[in-house]
Structure 1
Amino acid sequence: MTAAAIPAAQPRSPAMIRRAVISSVIGNGLEWYDFLVYGFFSTIIAQVFFPSSDPLVSALLTAATFAISFLVRPIGGVLLSTYADRFGRKPILTVMILIMGFSTVLIGLTPSYATIGMLAPILVIVARILQGISVGAEFASATAMLVEYAPPRKKMLYGSFQMCSQALALALAAFSGYALSTLLTPEALQNWGWRIPFLLGSLITPLGFYIRRFVDESPEYEKDSGPKVKQTPFLTVLAEHRSALLRSCAIMIPGTASNYVWFIFLPGYVVRQLKLPFTSAMLSSLIGGILLFIFVPIMGQLADRWNPRRVWLCGMLGFALLSYPLLSYVVTVPSFERLLIVQAICALPIAAIWAPTPGLLAGMFPTTVRSTGMSIAYNMVVLLFGGLAPFTLTWLVAKTGSDLVPSYYLIACTALALLALWQADRGEARR
C-alpha cells in the first residue's frame, strides 16, 4: 500500500498541540455521541416520533431517519472539506461544532408526535439533515488537523485519538442509557427521560467552540498553502488520486461496519430481537466502550512502531473470523453475561482496525487535497455501510428470519474491503 508522504509538522508549543488534540476530539466525540444515543434509544424514538400499529414499520421509519443524514453527508462533506483544503482547517471546524450543537438541541426539544403531529418527525428529519451537513466534513477535517499536528513517527497515535473520541462517546452514550433506564420507570423514560442525553450532549458545544477559536492553523497546511492550494480539490482528487480514493474506501469499510453494526445496531437488536433487557445492552456497550478507549491508543502506538497496514489487516481478519461464532454464542442462549463476553472479546480486534485508520487515510493524500480526499472516501463508505446498515439489517432479519444476519453482513464487508484493496494495489502496480 503506497501513501503520500506526510511531511513533518513545524514545531508548536505543547499547549497548542494539546489544544488542537482536544478540539478535534471534542467535535468528533460530540458527533458520535449524538449518533450513538439516537441508535441506543431508537426503540423509544420510534414510539415517540413514528408511532405505528406495526412495530416493524415503526422500526424501519426510525432507521430510515437515522440514514437520512447520511444521504446529505457526501454533499456537505465535499463542500465543507473543499473549503477546508482551500482556506484552512480551523474556520470550518469552528462552524461545524455550532451546527452540531444546534441540531442536537433540536432533537432533544422537539415535542412528540402525539403533541404536534406530523411536525414532530419533520423537525427530527431537519435536525438529522443538519447533522449530516455538518459531520460530513468533521471526521476528515479534524483528522487532517490531528495528523498534521503530530510529531514525526507519531502520526498513527495522533490519528488514533480521533477513534478514542468515538470509544469515549460510546461509553458516555451507553452510560446515559444505562443510568436512565435504571433510575427511571419505562413510562418516564419514554415520556421525557430519553431527551436528557441529547440536551446534555449539546452542553459541550460552547466548550468546543471556545477551544477551536484559539487553535492555530495546522502547521503542515500553513507550510503547503499559498500557491500550492488547489482551486478545485474535488476535481483534483478524482483526476489524480483515484487509486488512493479506492484504497481509502477499502480501509474505511471494516471500521465503519464494525462500528455501526456492533455498537449502533446490535444494542437495539438484542433488545428488540433477542428480548434482552435494555439495561443489559447499555451496560455491555459501556464496558465495550471503556475497553476500546484503552486499547485504541495502544494499537495506535503499535502501528507507529510496527506497520499500520499489518495492524489493520490483523484486526480486520480477526474480527471477521470472530463475528459469526460470537454472535451465534449470544443468539443461542441470549443473556447479559454472553453479550458482555462477546463485546469484550471484540474490543481488541476492533481497536486494531480503528487505531491506524485515520493515519492511513491521511497518508493517502497530499496536504492540499487531504481533507477533500478523506471526506469523499469517508462519506461514501459511511453512507453505504453505516447509515444504511440498521435499515438493511432490520429488513434482512425480518425477511430471512435469521438472527445471524449481522455476522454475514460483517463477513461480506470484510471480503469487499479485501477485494477493493487488491484492485487498488493491482492498479498501482500496473502504473
Structure 2
Amino acid sequence: MTGTSRQGGVRTIFNVTSGNFLEMYDFMVFGYYATAIAKTFFPGDDPFASLMLTLMTFGAGFLMRPLGAIILGSYIDRHGRRKGLLLTLGLMAIGTLTIAVVPGYATLGMAASVLILLGRLLQGFSAGVELGGVSVYLSEIAPKGKKGFYVSWQSGSQQIAVIFAALLGLLLNHLLSKEAVTHWGWRIPFVIGCLIVPFLFWIRRMLEETEAFSQRKHHPSMGQIIRSVGRNWALVLASMLMVVTTTVMFYMITAFTPTFGKTVLMMSDKESFFVTLCIGISNLFWLPVMGSLSDRYGRRPLLLISTILMIITAWPVLYWLVGSPNFAHLLEADLWLSFLYGSYNGSMVVYLAEVMPAEVRATGFSLAYSLATALFGGFTPAVCSYLIHVTGDKAMPGVWLTFAAVCGLIGTLIIKRLK
C-alpha cells in the first residue's frame, strides 16, 4: 500500500527533512564563523572590509537560489519529489566539502577566495529548491486538517540545525583557544557536515513518491512549467513579499546574532552562541505550535497579527537592547523576535504550498522563496552590518526588520485577491 496513510508518519517527516537540516546547518556555520572565515580567505588591514567580504560571500550563495528554483524545481515537478530531493542533497554536499577542505588565502592566494565563493554558489543553487521540495512533499502527504503541523517541520528541521551548530560552537570554544578556532577550528563543523552526508543519503533513499504526484497523469516539461509560472507571476511576486518577512527575521535572529553579539554588543563568543542555541530551541517550539493553530483557526489571522506586531515592536526592541546591551537583554529581545518568527512562519509556509497551482507547486513555491532570500534575507547580516557602520546607530537592524514585516503584510493582503 502506498500513499498518505503509509507516508504520513514521524519517520517520513524525519526522512524528508534530513537534507533540509544539512542545508541550514551549512548556512548557519558559515554565518557563525564569519569573522574566522574572513581572516582565512579575505585577509586585510581593515577588519570591517574583511568581514563585509565574508558576509557578501555568505549572501552570494542566495543569488543562485532563483536559478536553482527554476532548474531544479522544474526537475522535481516533472520527475518527482523523491528524485529531486536526492539530487539537491548531493549538490549541497559538494559545496560543503569545498568549504571544509580548501586551503586559505595564505596558501592559494586569490584562488582560495574564488573557490570558497564557488562552494557557496553551489550550496545556494541546491538550496534554491530544497526548502520548496520539502514543503511540497510534506503538504502532499499530510493528513486532512494537519497540513500546517506537518509543513512546520520543514522549518523545524532548520531549527535543529541551528541548535546543533550552536552546541558545536559552544563545545569548540570550550575545548579550543580563540586563536585555534580562528586559525583552523572553524573547519571542524564543516567536516562534521561532510561526515553526516552518507547517513542523510541513506535515509532519503527510503522516501516514497507522494501519492498526489504519482496520481497526476501529466507531468509538464520545463518549458511548460516556466510558461505556467509566467502566467502566475503576480502570485509568485505576492508570495515573495510574504517570504521576505520570514527570511529576513530568520537570518537576523540566527546567522547574524553571533556577529551582532560579538562585534556590536561586545559580548563573548560563548554568550552569543548560547543565545543562538536558545533561539533555535524557541523556534523549534513555536513553529509546530503555530502550524497547528493555523490548522484550527486559519492561516491569515496568524499572518496578519504577527506582521502587525513585528511592525509595532521590531525597532523599539532593538533600540532598547542597544541602549542597555547585556546577555539577558539580548536573550529577551531575540526570544520575542523568535515568537513572532514562529507565529508567522508556522502559517506562511503551508499557506504558500496551498495557493500554488499543483502542476508548478515546487517551482512556483521555490522561486518565490528564492527571490525573497536572494534579494533580501540572505544579505541580512551584510545589510545590518552596513547600516550600523554608515549611520552609527546600532539599532538599525530593527529598521530592516520593520521593512521586512511591511512586505509580509502587503503580500498577505494582496495574495487573497489573487486566489
Task: Sort the TM-score into its range (normalised by shorter chain).
Answer: over 0.9
Cα drift, residue 181 of structure 1: 1.5
> Match for 2:326 among 325, 335, 349?
335
Which segment is superposed worse, 160-169 or 417-426?
A: 417-426
2:89 aligned with 1:81 = no
Q: Residue 361 and residue 98 in structure 1: after superposition, are their counterparts in 2 closer, same or farther (change >3 A)?
A: same
| Number of the residue aligned with 2:233 | 242
Q: Residue 279 and residue 23 in structure 1: after superposition, are their counterparts in 2 closer, same or farther (change >3 A)?
A: same
Distance 2:227 2:120 in 1: 28
2:298 aligned with 1:273 = no
The answer to whether the 8 A contact 2:307-2:406 is kept is: no
Distance 2:322 2:95 in 1: 36
How is 1:44-63 mapped onto 2 (pairs within 5 angstroms)?
Answer: 44-63=36-55
Report SS of the residue matched to 1:257. Answer: helix
Cα drift, residue 407 of structure 1: 0.2
> Match for 1:376 among 343, 354, 367?
367
Distance 1:305 1:256 in 2: 25
How is 1:94-105 mapped onto 2 (pairs within 5 angstroms)?
Answer: 94-105=86-97
| Number of the residue aligned with 1:4 | none
Distance 1:323 1:281 in 2: 20
> Match for 1:162 among 154, 169, 175?
154
| Number of the residue aligned with 1:389 | 380
Report SS of the residue matched to 1:215. Answer: coil
| Number of the residue aligned with 2:345 | 354
Query: Which letter does structure 2 place at the counterpart of 1:411?
Result: T
2:117 aligned with 1:133 = no
Cα drift, residue 325 of structure 1: 2.3
Distance 2:414 2:142 in 1: 31
The answer to whether the 8 A contact 2:388-2:394 is kept is: yes
| TM-score using structure 2 length | 0.95
Query: Which letter does structure 2 place at the counterpart of 1:33?
Result: Y
Which segment is superposed worse, 95-104 or 283-292?
A: 95-104
| Number of the residue aligned with 2:107 | 115
| TM-score using structure 1 length | 0.92
Distance 2:359 2:97 in 1: 34
Query: Which letter does structure 2 place at the counterpart of 1:360?
Result: Y
2:392 aligned with 1:401 = yes
Which segment is superposed worse, 373-382 or 345-354?
A: 345-354
Distance 1:221 1:41 in 2: 40
Distance 1:13 1:74 in 2: 33
Distance 1:251 1:152 in 2: 25
The answer to whether the 8 A contact 1:248-1:364 is kept is: no
| Number of the residue aligned with 1:23 | 15
> Match for 1:188 among 180, 202, 214?
180
2:197 aligned with 1:220 = no
- Listed one character per residue, the Cα deviations across residues 242-271 of structure 1 (whole Å, up to 9, x for unaligned) are 342133113212111111122212320221
Cα drift, residue 142 of structure 1: 1.2
Distance 2:278 2:294 in 1: 24
2:28 aligned with 1:36 = yes
| Number of the residue aligned with 2:194 | 202
The answer to whether the 8 A contact 1:76-1:136 is kept is: yes
Q: Residue 59 and residue 11 in structure 1: after superposition, are their counterparts in 2 closer, same or farther (change >3 A)?
A: closer
Report SS of the residue matched to 1:24. Answer: helix
Cα drift, residue 215 of structure 1: 1.1
Distance 2:64 2:404 in 1: 23
Cα drift, residue 419 of structure 1: 2.7
2:64 aligned with 1:72 = yes
Query: Which letter does structure 2 place at the counterpart of 1:253?
Result: V
Query: Which letter does structure 2 place at the counterpart of 1:221?
Result: F
Q: How many residues align?
A: 417
2:313 aligned with 1:322 = yes
The answer to whether the 8 A contact 2:253-2:337 is kept is: no
Q: Residue 302 and residue 420 in structure 1: after superposition, are their counterparts in 2 closer, same or farther (change >3 A)?
A: closer
The answer to whether the 8 A contact 2:139-2:350 is kept is: yes
2:299 aligned with 1:308 = yes
The answer to whether the 8 A contact 2:219-2:359 is kept is: yes
Q: Residue 228 and residue 79 in structure 1: after superposition, are their counterparts in 2 closer, same or farther (change >3 A)?
A: closer
Distance 2:384 2:35 in 1: 15
| Number of the residue aligned with 2:98 | 106
The answer to whether the 8 A contact 1:246-1:421 is kept is: no
Distance 1:123 1:274 in 2: 32
Report SS of the residue matched to 1:156. Answer: helix
Query: Which letter does structure 1 place at the counterpart of 2:321?
Result: V
| Number of the residue aligned with 1:12 | 5
Cα drift, residue 424 of structure 1: 4.1
The answer to whether the 8 A contact 1:171-1:290 is kept is: yes
CA RMSD of aligned residues (A): 1.8
Which segment is superposed worse, 67-76 or 134-143?
A: 67-76
Cα drift, residue 403 of structure 1: 0.6
- Structure 1: give runs of 5+ residues left out of the alignment: 1-8
Sequence identity percentage: 33
Query: Which letter does structure 2 place at the counterpart of 1:281?
Result: S
